[in-house]
Chain A
C-alpha cells in the first residue's frame, strides 16, 4: 500500500482563500453601490484613510454604508453558524438558528414594547418611534431572547434527549406568537406597522455606538463555535457514539446552545428576525465542499453566510434606486432557488440526514 493513497482530512487551503477573496469583493461592492454609486477605487481610498474625489462620499461610506456592511457580515456569519450547529445537534436538516424559540422570545419582547406600551396608554411617549426605536427595541429583543436562552439552557441541562428541546422550542414559538397576535389585535395601525417593519429585518439600523456591543458579542459567539468543531464532529454519529468517544454530551450541548443563542439572539435584537440564511447556508456548504467535517464547515459556513448576507443587502438596497426592499423577502427570494439548485444537483441532502 502506497502511503499517499490515504485521504487527507481538513480544509483545503485554496478553497478558503477563494471564498475569502469573494467576501472582500462583495464587502467592497456593498460599500460602492447604493442610491449613489461610488467608484471602487474611491471606496478603497476612504478605507485606507485618504480623501476620495468627493468629500460627501467619505461620510456616506463611513457613517452609513460601512456599519451596514459590517453588520451584514456579522449577521450572515452568526446566523449561518448557529444554523449549522442546530442542524448537527438535532440531526435535522430543517433546524435553524431560531429552532429553540430565540426569535419568538425576541419578537415577544419587541411586541410588548412597540405594541403593549401603546395599549397601556403612553402613546405620546412613543409617538416618535425613532427616539425610542433604536435602543428600546434592541433592549426589548435582547431581554426577550435572553429569557428564552435562560429557559432553554436550564432545560438542556436536565433532559437526556435533544429531541425534547426541539419540541419545547417549537411549543414556545407557538405560545409566543399567540401572545403577539393578541397584542397585534388590540393595537393601532401605526404600531402594527412599526412592529411589522421590525419583522422585515434590516442591517441598516446599527450605528457605530451599537456596533460596540454587537461586534464583540458576535465575535465571542463565533469564537465559541470555532472551539466546538470537535464536539460537533463527534455528534455526527449521534449522542451515544459521541458519549462513547469521550464527549461529555450535556456540557457540549450546553455550549452549542449557548453560542447559538448568543449569536442568533444578538442578531435578532439588532437586525430583526432574519430568516433563511441560517437554514440554507449550511446545506449550501455541505454540498459545495462535499463534507460534513465541522473543521471545514464552521469557517466556510461563516464566510459564505457573510457573503450571502452582503448580496441580499445589496439587492435589497436596489442600486441606483431610492427604494429599500424588506431584507427578509430578499434573503429567501434569491436564496431559495440557489440552494434548491445546488442541493438537487448534488442529491446528498437525504444521505446526510435520513434517519
Chain B
C-alpha cells in the first residue's frame, strides 16, 4: 500500500549493553501503519509491547533494521521534525505541577511556537480543537492535579492531538482506568482515527475492547513472530487462542472473551432464554459446571428452570424428583455447593 504512514523493516528491538551482548526482545518485525487506522498492539506481559512502542516512537533506537515514518528514518529525524509527525501518550501519570488542563494541552504546540512558546491564533485554535475533539471542554479551566486518571488521560490525548501529528502512539493509555473510562477512551481514539485521518497505534491489555475497536491488531507472542490482521481474522485463525493459552484460562472463539477454568463440577441442564438465562449460565460456569442449555431430551442431570413471574424471577431446580425454588442466584449457587 502506498498510504502507509509508518513502515518498519526487519526491525530488531531490545536493549544494547555496552559490554555484554544485547538483550533482544523481538526480531524481524516488519509491520506498517496505514493512514487513518486504529491499531492495537496486544500480547502477554513482558512480551515487548512497550519496547516496540518506544522504538516506533523514536524513544529508543532499534538494534537492527529501521522505522520509517513518512519515508524518513525516525532515528535520523530532528526532534522537532519528528514531533510534527508523531506524538505520544505514556502510561506513567504525569505530574505537571500547577497547570490548567488548557496549559497542558498548549504544551503540545511546542514544535510550532517561537523561542518563548508564544501561541499564535492558529495555535490557540489547534488547542481548542484538540480539547473539543476529546470532549474535554469542561476540563479546560481545571488544574491538572485535580483531574481523575481518566480525565487526565483525555487531556493527555488532547495534548498529543494538539501537536498535529500524522501518527499518535499510546503506550497502555487505559492501564489505570475503570471499564467505562476505558471504553470512553477507546471510543475517542476510534473517532479520532475516523474523523481526522490520523493513524493511532496503542498497546493495551484490554483484549475485548481491542477486538471491538481496532482496524488492525498486532499480536505479539513469546515464541512466534508478530502477527497482524483484522481482529476477526486473528480470532478465526486461532492466533488469539495460542497466544493467550495458559493453564486455567482459555480464549473462547464463540464469545471473543476469556473463559476461566475452575473445578469441574459436571454437567447441568438450564432451560430458559433471554437475559436471565445468560447470567444464570455465567453463574453456573463460575461454579465449574458445563451448562447444557435447552437440550432436546436429557435425564439424570440437575435441571434449572427460570420462572418469570409478574414482578419477580425465580429459579426452580429439579434433581432426582426433588424440586426447590430459589429467589436469587446466590441462593441457588449456595444450595448447589452443598
> Which residues of A are interface residues toward B (Cβ below 8 A)?
1, 5-7, 9, 91, 227, 229-230, 233-234, 236-238, 240-241, 243-248, 286, 290-293, 295, 348, 351-355
Q: Are A293 and B59 in contact, with the CB atoms below 8 A? A: no
B117 and A245 within 8 A (CB): no
B79 within 8 A of A: yes
**Interchain CA distance A355-B93 in the complex, whole Å:** 8
**Closest 8 interchain pairs by CB?**
A246-B83, A292-B97, A246-B111, A352-B97, A246-B80, A245-B110, A351-B145, A230-B117
CB <8 Å contact, A290 and B98: yes
A227 touches B115 (CB 8 A): yes
Distance between A229 CB and nearest chain B CB, rounded to angstroms: 6
Q: Can you name 25 A-B pairs with beta carbons within 8 Å?
A: A5-B140, A7-B102, A9-B119, A230-B116, A236-B107, A237-B96, A238-B94, A240-B90, A241-B88, A241-B94, A245-B107, A245-B108, A245-B163, A247-B110, A248-B79, A286-B97, A290-B98, A291-B98, A292-B96, A348-B98, A351-B97, A351-B145, A352-B98, A353-B95, A353-B97
Closest A residue, CB atoms, query B84: A246
Residues of B near A91 (CB, < 8 A) are 95
Question: B83 touches which one: A240, A244, A352 (CB < 8 A)?
Answer: A244
User: Are A230 and B110 interface neighbours, CB within 8 A?
Assistant: yes
- Which residue of chain B is the closest to A91 with respect to CB atoms? B95
B115 touches A230 (CB 8 A): yes
DSSP class of A's interface residues: helix, strand, loop or mixed? loop
Cβ A246 vs Cβ B128 within 8 A: no
Q: Is B197 in contact with chain A by the CB < 8 A criterion?
A: no
- Give min CB distance, A307 to chain B, whole Å: 21
* A243 x B97 contact (CB < 8 A): no
The reply to whether B103 and A247 contact each other, CB–CB distance below 8 Å, is no
Nearest A residue (CB) for B103: A9
**With contact pairs A9-B106, A245-B110, A248-B79 given, residues A348 and B145 touching in the complex (Cβ less than 8 Å):** yes
Query: CB of B100 within 8 A of chain A?
Result: yes
CA of A293 to CA of B103 in the docked complex: distance in angstroms?
8
Q: Is the CB of B82 within 8 A of A6?
A: no
B185, chain A: closest CB distance, angstroms: 18
Q: Whole-angstrom distance from the CB of A288 to the nearest CB of chain B?
A: 11
Interface residue count on the B side (C-beta < 8 Å): 43
Q: Is B25 interfacial (CB 8 A cutoff)?
A: no
CA distance A90 to B203 in the complex (A): 29
Please state if A352 and B95 are interface contacts (CB–CB under 8 Å): yes
- B residues near A5, Cβ cutoff 8 Å: 140-141
Give the chain B neighbours of A236 by CB distance below 8 A.
Answer: 96-97, 99, 107
A245 vs B57: C-alpha distance when bound (angstroms): 11
Q: Give the nearest-CB partner of A286 in chain B.
A: B98
Task: Please give me the residue from chain B that is nearest to A88 by CB atom.
Answer: B97
A6 interface neighbour in B95, B102, B107, B145, Cβ under 8 Å: B102
Residues of A within 8 A of B113 (CB): 230
**Known contacts A9-B103, A352-B97, A355-B95; A246 and B82 CB within 8 A of each other:** yes
Query: What residues on A are CB-neighbors of B252 within 8 Å?
Result: none
User: B255 at the A/B interface (Cβ < 8 Å)?
Assistant: no
Name the distance in Å between A179's Cβ and chain B's nearest Cβ.
32
Asked whether, in the complex, the Cβ of A7 is within 8 Å of the Cβ of B110, the reply is no
Contact B80 A7 (CB under 8 A): no
- Which residues of the other chain, B, contact A9 by a CB distance below 8 angstroms? 102-103, 106, 119
Q: Closest residue of chain B to A239, judged by CB?
A: B59
The complex places the Cα of A286 from the Cα of B102 at a distance, in Å, of 18
Minimum C-beta distance from B156 to chain A (A) = 9
Q: Beyond A237-B94, A351-B98, A352-B97, is A243–B141 a contact (Cβ under 8 Å)?
A: no
Report the bound CA distance from A352 to B143 in whole Å: 11
Residues of B within 8 A of A243 (CB): 59, 79
The answer to whether A237 and B80 have CB atoms under 8 Å apart is: no
Residues of A close to B117: CB separation below 8 A: 229-230, 233, 295
Q: How far is the CB of B214 from chain A (nearest CB, A)?
A: 23
Taking the closest CB of chain A, its distance from the CB of B119, in whole angstroms, is 7
CB distance from B155 to the nearest CB of A (A): 11
B329: Cβ under 8 A from any A Cβ: no
CB neighbours of A246 from chain B (8 A): 78-84, 110-111
Contact (Cβ within 8 A) B140 A6? yes
Add 10 more A-B contacts to A234-B107, A243-B79, A246-B110 (CB < 8 A).
A1-B132, A5-B140, A9-B103, A9-B106, A230-B113, A236-B99, A286-B98, A291-B99, A292-B98, A293-B99
Q: Mark B118-159, 1 if CB is under 8 A from A, else 0.
A: 010000100010001000010011000100000000000000
